[in-house]
């Protein structure tokens, strides 16, 4: 198992190094966001190359990851194409000064590469274990993944269309799923990763791979997802009423004020 993990880690780190070199050329660390989804697709492709004895469960898991990764990366590419560097990375670049490239290589690109391998643990373990037939875990997991995938896709598209109107640049999106959740896209992301974990079951190290959906949830709720956007939006008056009447992440009926 140690050899297998090293195999994936080396491949992903080389991939992220290549992405870093491209981002340095264009002076935009935001490329790492596009690379995020593609890193998981790389893991699936490497898994099928390493182990060609797969069954329905493994193909289902691989297909779900492939669809999620392609959708997310293509969406981010379309949304960010020809736009300035994301505020998170521009702040990092400014605070790091002359050492920005070196620090970004280790603290952004390689760190996210490491996270990709850790979060991929259910995928790696399932695709490198004895193949199993589709069962109840896969059915429940696929339904959960499907709902999360749909919800996140709907939220991303709704906000992108909303922001095309220049008058909406500093206003919160309140249409579609955003009417029920301040962070509708993140709710979909968390949901689909719990679904992927269920699809991967059962396998010998199921308790270790639980770190995948738990870590995704923690990062979104407490580290690099909601906290950063909350800090960005707290000074915007147009967000105050929206925040009072809309659930933070779990969808719910808007409150009457």
Contact 246, 179 (CB under 8 A): yes
At residue 20, the 3 state secondary structure works out as helix
Residue 257 is predicted with a pLDDT of: 57
pLDDT at 255: 87
Is 148 in contact with 192 (CB distance < 8 Å)?
A: yes
What is the spatial distance between Cα 15 and Cα 36, in angstroms, rounded to a whole number? 11
DSSP run (H or E) holding 129: none
- Give the alpha-carbon dihedral of 211, 213, 219, 220, to 10 degrees: -170
Sign for the CA dihedral angle at 186, 226, 62, 42 comes to: positive
Residue ranges in the chain whose pLDDT is less than 70: 1-2, 257
């Amino acid at each position: 198992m140690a050899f297998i993990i090293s195999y994936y880690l080396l491949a992903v780190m080389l991939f992220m190094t290549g992405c870093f070199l491209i981002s340095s050329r264009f002076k935009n660390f935001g490329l790492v966001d596009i690379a995020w989804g593609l890193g998981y697709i790389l893991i699936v492709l490497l898994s099928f190359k390493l182990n060609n004895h797969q069954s329905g469960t493994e193909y289902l898991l691989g297909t779900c990851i492939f669809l999620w990764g392609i959708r997310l990366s293509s969406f981010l590419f379309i949304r960010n194409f020809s736009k300035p560097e994301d505020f998170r990375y521009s702040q990092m670049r400014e605070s790091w000064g002359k050492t920005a490239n070196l620090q970004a290589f280790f603290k952004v690109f390689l760190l996210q590469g490491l996270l990709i391998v850790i979060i991929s643990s259910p995928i790696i373990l399932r695709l490198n274990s004895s193949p199993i037939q589709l069962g109840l875990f896969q059915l429940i997991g696929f339904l959960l993944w499907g709902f999360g995938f749909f919800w996140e896709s709907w939220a991303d598209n709704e906000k992108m269309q909303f922001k095309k109107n220049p008058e909406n640049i500093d206003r919160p999106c309140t249409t579609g799923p955003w009417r029920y959740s301040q962070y509708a896209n993140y709710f979909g992301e968390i949901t689909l990763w719990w679904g992927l974990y269920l699809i991967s079951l059962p396998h010998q190290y199921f308790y270790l791979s639980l770190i995948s959906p738990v870590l995704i949830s923690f990062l979104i709720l407490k580290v690099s997802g909601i906290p950063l956007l909350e800090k960005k939006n707290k000074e915007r008056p147009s967000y105050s009423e929206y925040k009072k009447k809309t659930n933070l992440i779990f969808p719910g009926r808007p409150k009457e004020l």
